[in-house]
Copies of this chain bind each other. A is one copy, B any other.
């Protein structure tokens, strides 16, 4: 990675949400450093790249997905926002520090950074997490069992979750977390995982159907034809 082509002191950090087994999950990178540091998937912006393009590139590197629901949600720019955890470590460490195979460029990397937070919603079944040169590995973590992040990444996840909750109804974006077809119960479970609270079944179904964005398909094959639930699909 040649850092010379990037805008200095500006980065992107992505909160990639997935959903599986009734749990909301976040994609987390363990950085490729001789110390255990956890980070959100992030990166920098080329001089000749739109910021949204840069975010899509960073997401594609980690998920292999092209069509991702992606939203810029907040900029984090505290005055003291530096890679202190890495800096501290470097002072202890005696050898040149490699990030992946790249020797860290101190002058560039350890200035104060302003970071643009994006969140993304992906169908977890379609994602095979990919590590880049920056990552030791990349894994899904449940939202209520995240590792201790470095810098302000815990705050970034919390703010992304607030924004996801705010937008789930307004912008009908939850469907990006589900497979193409789903039962009403599965949709309700997703809402319960995101908002971390139960919904009353009848009200939930009524509200969702009233939005006019669900197409009812055939019944789901379960073997027990009578009680089989209907499948739905999102129509935009």
A-to-B contact residues, CB < 8 Å: 7-10, 45, 47-53, 72, 74-75, 77-79, 112, 114, 116, 166, 170
Contact = CB atoms under 8 A, between A and B. Distances in A.
A155 to B, nearest CB: 14
A21 to B, nearest CB: 32
Nearest to A78: B50
Copies in the assembly, this chain: 2
Question: Which of A52, A53, A75 has the most CB atoms of chain B within a 10 A radius of its CB?
Answer: A75
Contacts of A8: 8-9
A156 to B, nearest CB: 14
Main secondary structure of the interface of A (DSSP, over half): mixed
B48 A79 contact: yes
Contacts of A10: 7, 9-10, 114
A50 B79 contact: yes
Given A9-B7, A51-B114, A112-B47, A74 B72 contact: yes
